[in-house]
Chains A and B, each alone.
Chain A
């Protein structure tokens, strides 16, 4: 609290980012955890909440005639342009936010304050809700070829890996430890996904310390063991997700990639995904295009292309498709790595798993996948998301890209996923918001050291409870059987308005099919309930069921009807003009006929 200089500022204007609409006027509050803007200019109370930890940048612009502009942009791409009349107030708010948005240490994060009124048991059960070890069982492990070991029990083998690792049965302890010495940060080849149908496996690791000519017998044995664990295949793929040039540069530093001559029966392949720095800069450029007020076609399309963002998304997807194809069609095992094996490798392995296995296209399956491939295998969430004040060069939207790849897949397979876009956005939001402990820390060991499981809550049970919101009404299980083979033509990668303009109401589609469908499914559920009620009622009349003591004067169907009729009117009255109109209408229920006098959102010129 000591950082809050001015807890409340009145007469603050909130400008629309894209249109010259009249700004909203209201009061700005700073609390210990949130910035809250309460609109006073309209009759309905409208609040905008921003979690301090979500704020990526806060910028105070020079004083203008209107007042002092304060631009805030968040990690979930929420952008707000405030104008505060007093420069001094603006200065104070700015100073507070700068400090509050960058906690010095992990313990200041929201998750350590957040208390959803659960007791210890619930907390413990919550953390046990998703167990990645169970997923290996689901894949049929251990089996004749693979086993789960606890060689990494005390994180001695590899400090950034999970304590339980899947390795080939034939690999001896000596092989494993020897291989660890030859892999950057000891990140040995370990099982990521086992494809029961083909016996082929996806394994992940970090780059070998091959330098210009170094070899390691144990590492070669390790790969041999992985290859042999798939007896029907005569070879395995080794995929380096980096561009060849980057991998070669690493050789000079004593790292590098596998030499096909030294390893028997491997097929080596680069897939050319750029590093975290390129991705960070690319996102920056994308956001600049996104911020254009009314871009011309050439500004927009050239800007989109020059940002390279969608090209990078495509590269990740291409790599995922390559892996899935290798496993499902060539029935060959694949070993994947990048440099450290915690960014691109995580993206590619998890994407391939989704393409191969319908389980990961379910609500729970995605939780398992993220837990398994990202959290337990040491994706450095604290650093990549910039949770605490640290090296800005370590920040990169690696996880965002994975989620975006997933969204693109969902666009191509509208019936293939149990979850909807909201689910992706919600997960993405939680990764950055630190309301829950899951995405704090860079690896499993760190999380244990921080005692996160005792001090914070897990997000998964929370999401599970709200799963009805995240369900895709179009989902069809029968579709989920097959391996997905998405098209990766460049035109299939679209700008994700739902993510980057999520908070800009006017930029959202006027009518959302998803919302529409969710309403229908909800009504269906209501109808089903009503049917049951009526059936019971009939049964009671027939004397089959005992009257449950409901007084005869109050027919039960009346109560069960009322919610339906209410939502019925609400839907009818919903106009479909611009975003603002819809927003208001949700509260005011504007009557339909001829009363819509909305200004078009964007008559651009």
Chain B
């Protein structure tokens, strides 16, 4: 009964308040679904409440007291609710058609936060528990069949689809549970509140305080003699999609900034994202210049870029990275946009990075889902994967970021990065380059700062790209831009397994809560909107949850390489599909799990991370050993001290202090 999967998930915070020690125990467990389970509060997984975990987990680490588990087991067919979560409807005899184990009959519950399905016919019971935010679309499939059953399909944002069937209601007046579901799944379209605004969980830390722009710039050594922090956007008047705190060259007064803003799409002027602590080379981000078909120029913009170049004494050159393919950049001229001509910008070199737009990326992910969900064909895996182009996009993004990092680190040259609006590809590139250049962003908190800064404060349009609570699933503004960024980070963690403080589960948790609508972090499109909606006051930040149990997300292999620059290899040979994310619903992916899956009929794959588990054990043993050595050493020192004092006159022994193992 220990090893509970989803059950601890449900309201594990509450449980922790009751049994804090227990929670801290469970938090070290490494099975991914388990984690996703607690993480979940909101579970993200089809999960069983009692999947037996194979023996490779030491029981002392993962067990929960039986009594506690039992209480939860008695919770019958309803989910454990979160604070402010309420059941909206419940239906018996609903069939969930699992692509891996077939039809399961059980009870379906819809709350204002989640969909919860439990089949009690099996031992242990089968549980499917997902936040409604994950649902992208609900559709009725066909009419009533001969058995009088109606069938519904749920398309999810996290690379899976679900299918349910249930008996046609005799009482046509009563709304079907799926109609309730459609209402609750898309609160924005139905004039309801997104659950993040209700969820009142209190965490020890206020996650909204993780990022403080001033503090982050101070960490980078800013302001300094060349760069200043401007208040010109304090009320988002210069640019409504930018943060209030901006770093610009010292020599450019705010008045000039406004003129530059007029020449940049949506007023997104070139501002500093990162500065090299030694060479003073900078990473600058902006939107495209409004060149148009006639090749319009702006003296202010030209002077501005020249000033940026001059701020770095080490180089007499400036690289402008246009993330787009040159054809797209040229096509933008028709819409008044375009790119910097090298004639107008002296000493600047323009490079196109050939990264495609949000629509191409959306299509690519759609194809990828077709290839990997629910089942993977036995043949033509590589050509199927190739046809999605997903890895190719990943390669271009990483290669672009690598070139940026290389220019800054090796050539000591400042770079300007933009795409069209500078909130999608630009965010990918600057943030990845910063991960390569600055070890701080490879820590758990540093990465949070990076997301808050480069993605949230600089106006990556999360609301539009993800479509929180919006039923309009065909919206052309939706795109997996942020997912690609996380995927690229994952690719880097594969190449540098000891350079990141966080683990794979951290990245998956971020992606899960990107959709869950439990936390306020990824709500809205810009800092201005977040301030207006009072998100920090009305919602909980994802970081509050993550930082309340950092050990869950810590990579045991981490060695602090903060002074190192990472240059990943972006050859095709070194990129791989992130199986742990894209194919995580397929229980066949993890052989150790498959058997459990079949015998216990758990809906979830109990993802095992035996490597990390074993690694942690090794580390623990070593730490214990070291402690013991230190004790012994101290004893030796003490005694030799006393004995040497007895033997007056004998030379004092110099005892070398124990080295700290790394």
Contact = CB atoms under 8 A, between A and B. Distances in A.
Interface of A: 18, 294-302, 304-305, 310-311, 412-415, 473-474, 476, 478-479, 481-482, 484-487, 489-492, 494-495, 497, 501, 506-507, 509-511, 513, 516-517, 520-521, 523-524, 527-528, 530-531, 534-535, 537-538, 541, 552-553, 555, 557-558, 561, 564-565, 568, 571-572, 575-578, 592-594, 596-605
Given A311-B379, A414-B610, A520-B619, A577 B650 contact: no
Which of B403, B568, B659 has the most chain A CB atoms closer than 10 A to its own CB? B659
A576 B385 contact: no
A476 to B, nearest CB: 6
A510 B495 contact: yes
Given A531-B632, A557-B633, A600-B406, A415 B610 contact: yes
Interface string B297-341: 000000000000000000000000000000000000000000000
Contacts of A577: 564-567
Nearest to A475: B614
Contacts of B614: 414-415, 473-474, 476
B611 A414 contact: yes
Contact of A524 (B403, B567, B618): B618
B522 to A, nearest CB: 30
A601 B571 CA distance: 9
Which of A299, A491, A520, A598 has the most chain B CB atoms closer than 10 A to its own CB? A491
A556 to B, nearest CB: 10
18 contacts: A294-B571, A296-B392, A296-B572, A479-B55, A481-B55, A497-B573, A509-B494, A513-B557, A523-B661, A527-B625, A535-B632, A557-B636, A561-B658, A561-B659, A598-B410, A599-B406, A604-B399, A604-B570
A484 B662 contact: no
A552 B650 CA distance: 9
Nearest to B561: A576
B516 to A, nearest CB: 27
B655 A557 contact: yes
Contact of B571 (A298, A552, A575, A602): A602
Interface stretch (B178-186, B195-203, B214-222, B591-599): B591-599
B62 interface: no
Interface of B: 54-56, 277-278, 376-383, 385-386, 389, 391-392, 395, 399, 402-403, 405-406, 409-410, 494-499, 557, 559, 561, 563-574, 576-577, 579, 583, 586, 588-592, 594-595, 610-611, 614-615, 618-619, 621-622, 625-626, 628-629, 632-633, 635-636, 639-640, 643, 650-651, 653-656, 658-662
Contacts of A476: 56, 610, 614
A541 B569 CA distance: 56
Given A294-B571, A489-B376, A511 B56 contact: no
B618 A297 contact: no
Given A301-B382, A511-B497, A604 B591 contact: no
Contacts of B379: 311, 490
A487 B651 contact: no
B56 A415 contact: yes
A506 B569 contact: yes
Contact of A594 (B563, B570, B592): B563
Contacts of B583: 491
A527 B629 contact: yes
Given A473-B618, A568-B660, A605-B399, 16 more contacts: A295-B573, A298-B386, A305-B380, A413-B591, A478-B56, A479-B54, A479-B56, A501-B573, A507-B569, A509-B495, A511-B496, A534-B633, A538-B636, A564-B661, A598-B410, A603-B570
Which of A510, A538, A565 has the most chain B CB atoms closer than 10 A to its own CB? A510
A510 B571 contact: no
B392 A568 contact: no
A227 B618 CA distance: 47
Contacts of B653: 552-553, 555
B625 A487 contact: no
A150 B278 CA distance: 77
Contacts of A481: 55
A516 B557 contact: yes
A510 B56 CA distance: 29
B567 A601 contact: yes
A207 to B, nearest CB: 27
A367 to B, nearest CB: 24
Given A484-B591, A486-B591, A523 B622 contact: yes
Nearest to A519: B662
Nearest to B650: A552
Contact of B640 (A482, A506, A511, A541): A541
A300 B386 CA distance: 9
A597 B405 CA distance: 11
Contact of A487 (B399, B590, B626, B639): B590
A490 B564 contact: no
Nearest to A321: B591
Contacts of A521: 618
Nearest to A303: B382
B638 to A, nearest CB: 10
A593 B276 CA distance: 13
A300 B385 CA distance: 11
